[in-house]
Chain A
Amino acid sequence: MTPSILVVGERLSGHLTSATREAVGVALALAGPEGSVVGFLAGSSLDRSVTEFGELGVTRIRTREDPRLDAAGAGAIAVSVVASAEAVSASVIVTGGTEFGRDLTGRLAVRWSAAVANGVTEATWADAGGLRVLRPVYGGRATETRRLTGSRIAIAIRPHAFAEPTAGAAVAIAEPDAGPEIPDPLLAARRTEVAAAGVSAGPALSDASIVVSGGRGVRDANGFRLVEALADSLGAAVGASRAVTDAGWRPSSFQVGQTGKAVSPQLYIAVGISGAIQHIVGMVSSRVIVAVNNDSSAPIFRVADYGIVGDLFQIVPALTKEIRRVRGLPAG
């Protein structure tokens, strides 16, 4: 079998995102030496990203130059993605696990009649046919293995679950595709503004590789600054328990948990958070969890890998200082 796999490229400030790079790695592994991987790009000024695809070892890129697609919903882009998938006889479409990628697989489930899965952490060909995928479910409290059947499969991978491929040096050729007409209703919305992520300057919460979260233990809005300083020392995103967002110390966009965001970073540091189940379900799939709490019986220690029992007002500043020291940053 010589599978053809289409990777949908996403760009941030003109460059391919890390999510797309991870998707390329997955596609290359699935294609194997016999199969082929084709990139897809839509929007304007695509040349630089065509080159970047080449540097990852993908040499054939379907491009849809159309400035309307720079700020369009996944529905408009899905029209061209499907046309490209058909043009290269793709049997699998892979996207990064971003908001866009997850939205796109939903559109492809119907537009391309695809078997679909989001949040994929493993993907292998199944002997019985199709693709076997592993996905964390229930906030990471369980995993499910599904077999996606048929000759049209679309997956969005989970952020940080796969390594980016090591850079090659191939030259990529763009194959411009005028593509089918995009129905008007899919282009009618307008993006009027993009503001940098959140109140803090850190990376977006759901995509961050390190998250530092604070809870009621910080005592007030001012106390929460200790959490932000620690995050800053690590280049981490800042999260919060619902006690913090309910109290209005930080906006609800910071909330991690059942009714907030689900995060799965490499490192999650919980400061002054008790570990209620509604918080746990949003962060338990983090790779390494550190908890700082002055109550040794706090339930957060049951899911943590490392625990420090102590007063956060003493521990956190010392930790921030030590991290800044080892990372060679000026004392904050």
Chain B
Amino acid sequence: MEIAVLIKPVPEAETRLRARTDGTQLDAEGVKFVLAGYDESAIEQALLLREATPGSKVRALAFGPAPRTEEVLRAALALGVDEVTWVESPAEGADDPGVVARALAFALARVPHELLLGGKQAGDDEEGLVTAAIAESLGIADFGSVVNLRVDSASGSLTFQRATEEGVESWTAPLPCAIALQQAWNDPRTAKLPNILKSRKMPIAKIPWAEVSAALGEAARPRSVAERFELPPARTGAKMIEYKSPEEAAETIVRLLREEAKVFP
């Protein structure tokens, strides 16, 4: 099976967020970028499927600027991904999800993809729509919030579950299709040192932005503008409940929740 995984470089969780001086977006100066959490799970899932289906290949694609994009692609190689493609982003407008999706869909013309795997949502913008938008460009079906993804080797189709508002749905879908994963692998593999060293010398196929934008024309134009990036006022610390007995603590907190915070009737 030919598996393509979409991976996005995002600021690591511990990042102290701050706005650029013009206030429009995150100041990325000095921020360390890593693989988005769900995308790390998507790689793990792809590698597990490759192990289960001999002859499979796993290829990763990322859209973004240097050097962060190259770094996450090398991280993917170190984890065991076979080949990677870097789709270069423009300096501005690269955060418009429509542009991201079209650029990646363009690149996918060169990357075999019976199964396209993405994350449920990226930990930075949390749009949760890029995988679906790419699927629309490719004319294939997509499914979000997927867990327990398996390949039925007899029929070649996928089986999986989706956690939606309705409950847990079970699905069977033929290839090709796109899957946005919500699997939380709590123990994804980590890269071994020799593989990290090896990954530094492995080739990265690069598609320059000039090429992408020339091919897409009008479709590469961003349809949204970032205007403001703000941090909410810090929570001032908890109001601590004073009490002499557990019963008193319970009464006090329930009263505060009803009368002060007004959260339940």
Q: Is B54 on the interface with A (CB-CB < 8 A)?
A: no
Beta-carbon contact of A144 and B25 below 8 Å: yes
Query: Could you say which of A102, A210, A252, A306 contacts B186, with CB atoms under 8 Å apart?
Result: A252
Beta-carbon contact of B173 and A189 below 8 Å: yes
CB contact under 8 A between A109 and B133, given known A98-B165, A321-B250: yes
For chain A, residues 151 to 204, give those with C-beta under 8 angstroms from any C-beta of chain B: 183, 185-186, 188-198, 204
CB contact under 8 A between A194 and B249, given known A109-B133, A118-B128: no
Q: Would you call the interface of chain A mostly helix, strand, loop, or mixed?
A: mixed
Which B residues touch A197, using CB under 8 A?
163, 165-168
Q: Is A29 on the interface with B (CB-CB < 8 A)?
A: no
Query: Could you say which of A73, A137, A309 contacts B125, with CB atoms under 8 Å apart?
Result: A137
Q: Is B30 on the interface with A (CB-CB < 8 A)?
A: no
Q: Is B174 on the interface with A (CB-CB < 8 A)?
A: yes
Beta-carbon contact of B263 and A266 below 8 Å: yes
For chain A, residues 111 to 161, give those with C-beta under 8 angstroms from any C-beta of chain B: 111, 113-119, 132, 135-150
Which B residues touch A266, using CB under 8 A?
263-264
Q: Which residue of A lies closest to B182 (CB)?
A: A261
- The interface stretch among A37-45, A59-67, A219-227, A312-320 is A312-320
Using C-beta atoms within 8 Å of the partner chain, give the interface range for chain B: 35 or more
- Complex alpha-carbon distance, A278 and B186, angstroms: 12
Which B residues touch A262, using CB under 8 A?
121, 126
Beta-carbon contact of B130 and A194 below 8 Å: no
| Total CB contacts across the A-B interface at under 8 A | 311
Beta-carbon contact of B123 and A258 below 8 Å: yes
- The interface stretch among B82-90, B107-115, B234-242 is B234-242
Beta-carbon contact of A192 and B162 below 8 Å: no
Which A residues touch B145, using CB under 8 A?
99
Q: How far is the CB of B69 from chain A (nearest CB, A)?
A: 19
Which B residues touch A192, using CB under 8 A?
170-172
Q: Which residue of B lies closest to A186 (CB)?
A: B141
Beta-carbon contact of B251 and A306 below 8 Å: no
Query: Could you say which of B143, B227, B239 contacts A145, with CB atoms under 8 Å apart?
Result: B227
Q: Is B14 on the interface with A (CB-CB < 8 A)?
A: yes
- The interface stretch among B57-65, B207-215, B254-262 is B254-262
Query: Could you say which of A107, A190, A301, A304 contacts B132, with CB atoms under 8 Å apart?
Result: A107
Q: Is A16 on the interface with B (CB-CB < 8 A)?
A: no
B interface residue numbers (CB < 8 A to A)? 11, 13-14, 17, 25-26, 37-38, 40-41, 96-98, 101-102, 105, 121, 123-133, 135-137, 139-145, 147, 162-174, 176-177, 180, 182-187, 219, 223-232, 235, 237-241, 243, 245-247, 249-251, 253-254, 256-258, 261, 263-265
A interface residue numbers (CB < 8 A to B)? 12, 17, 19, 73-76, 78, 98-100, 102-107, 109-111, 113-119, 132, 135-150, 183, 185-186, 188-198, 204, 207, 210, 234, 242, 245-246, 252-253, 255, 258-262, 266-267, 277-278, 281, 287-291, 296, 301-310, 314-315, 317-319, 321-323, 326-327
Please name the 8 residue pairs, one residue from A and one from B, whose CB atoms are nearest each other, closest first.
A106-B132, A106-B129, A307-B238, A115-B223, A189-B173, A318-B246, A322-B250, A145-B228
What are 6 A-B contacts defined by CB distance under 8 Å? A143-B229, A192-B170, A193-B170, A245-B186, A252-B184, A305-B239
